[in-house]
Structure formats: structure tokens, C-alpha cells
Amino acid sequence: MATPRQLVEIVAEIVGVSVATVIVHDRNLSTAPVPLRTVAGRGRAAAKVTAIDAANLLIAVAASESVKDSVKTVLNYRDLRGEKTIASGVRRYDELPANHTFGQALAAFIEAAAAKEITLSRKFNLKLMFYGPRPKAEIEWKINGHGSSTMYEPKSKWPARDKLANVGDLERMTTITENTIFCVGEKIGAML
């Protein structure tokens, strides 16, 4: 079972962000008024991370403009709603309710990797895109050449084009792939 420190190290390594930065994101999530990461003691009593913890940390690292925004970023992205278009072939994802959240979908893919339901041998390709500063996310997958995508958006749509002057027209995007999901899933795999 992976500890928070092990999760921090693998996320830092696979996404190419400093361990110090990921430690701050992790600390912010664990000390939030309602913790966004499993919290326990130290040493042998240290918390064992879950797929939801890993999903929250990945969201914080990939989508935050600044480490001070970790909690706000996770709260904004994890609850984005999406609707499945077609079955993905990944049981844990396909069993999600039709109106699931982005956090649930990301955790389902991490759990599937941890349980070896998805592997490189299945020619599984996954791309997770985080758009900001107005939160929006997309999951795109292909298994053996066939795939689809799901867009996760806030309940209210963006303002009309004539009102963009008041909210800005900037959009940035960060992306992670199946490599991140496989590495994080492998690290927490002993738990499932």
C-alpha cells in the first residue's frame, strides 16, 4: 500500500514537477477544512492513499495555476459533470452513473490501472485534458484503435461571446496521459 509520500514522489517523477511543489499541493489537500486526502499518523501508522486521493493530487498538480490554489482547484474540477457517450471497455469507468463527476472518472481509471484491468498490452491510450482558468476537463481514450471522449463542464455554460470582455478570453490547457495513470495505479495497486 502506498503512503502519501510515495504518491507524492511518483506524481512528481511522472509529471516532471519538483517533489517540493507536489509536497505543498499534498499538504494543502490534507489540511483543507474538509481534507481532500486521507489523513492518518506517521511512520507505520501513515495513511494509505486511495484512488480518490491520487485523483485529487493529480488534479491539483495538473490544473492549479499556483500551489496556493490546490484546494480551490480540486473542488472546481473534481465535481465537473460529464455524460458517457459510449462504453470505454474499462469496467470500473463503464459502471459509473451516467451523470458522474470528473473526479469519479479519474479515480475509476486509476483503480482500473491498479487492478491491472487496463494495461499497455491492450493498446490503451488515454489523454486527460484540463482547461483553465474557467474549469473544464476532457477524457479521451482509445482501446485497440476504437475510442471516444467525455467532456466535463460546470453546470452553467460560459458567457456569451459578447460578454467575454468581462471575464477574459484566455484559455490554457494541460494534459496527462495513460503513462501517469499506469504509474500512479501501480503505486497504489496493492490496496485493491
Q: What is the DSSP string of 2-43?
A: --HHHHHHHHHHHHT--HHHHHHHHHHHHTSSS-SS---BSG
**Which grid coordinates belong to 69?**
490554489
What would the DSSP string read from start to end of 155-169? SSPPPPGGGHHHH--
**How high is the pLDDT of residue 192?**
45
**Residue whose C-alpha is closest to residue 93's, from 113, 109, 117:** 109
Answer yes or no: are the C-beta atoms of 175 and 129 closer than 8 Å.
Answer: yes
Helix or strand or coil: residue 71? helix
Print pLDDT tens along the chain (192 aa): 688 899 999 999 999 999 999 999 999 999 999 999 988 766 666 678 899 999 999 999 999 999 999 999 999 999 999 876 677 788 999 899 988 999 999 999 999 999 988 876 667 889 999 999 889 999 998 877 778 888 998 876 555 555 555 556 788 999 999 999 999 999 888 544
**How high is the pLDDT of residue 158?**
54
Residues linked to residue 162 through DSSP beta bridges, in sequence order: none
Give the single-character DSSP code of 133: T
**How high is the pLDDT of residue 155?**
74
Torsion, Cα of 155, 90, 131, 187 (10° steps): 120
